[in-house]
Amino acid sequence: MRASLQRFKIAGQIGYHLHHWDGLANFVDDGRVELDTNVVERAIRFIVITRTFCPAES
């Protein structure tokens, strides 16, 4: 049972990395690409704050 759980964990990790492979390849190929999302989070902060204080009417 323990071996099957370890295989499941490894399979999950491999699947995760394969899912994000294109982004990782872009990061490695182009040194200008940032690995973290702070730039994006700062850029959309205004949108999120505006939506919080001015909710859309239904």
Taking only the tens place, the pLDDT of each residue in 7-51 is: 788 888 889 889 989 888 888 888 787 777 777 787 877 776 766
pTM for the full model? 0.42
Tell me, yes or no, whether 24 lies in a domain.
Answer: yes
Tell me, yes or no, whether 58 lies in a domain.
Answer: no
Give me the domain span that covers residue 33.
Answer: 2-53
Contact 27, 33 (CB under 8 A): yes
Q: Tokens for 1?
A: 């049972």
Total domains present in the chain:
1
Tell me, yes or no, whether 41 lies in a domain.
Answer: yes
Q: What pLDDT shows up at residue 51? A: 66
Tell me, yes or no, whether 25 lies in a domain.
Answer: yes
In this structure, what DSSP letter does residue 40 have? H
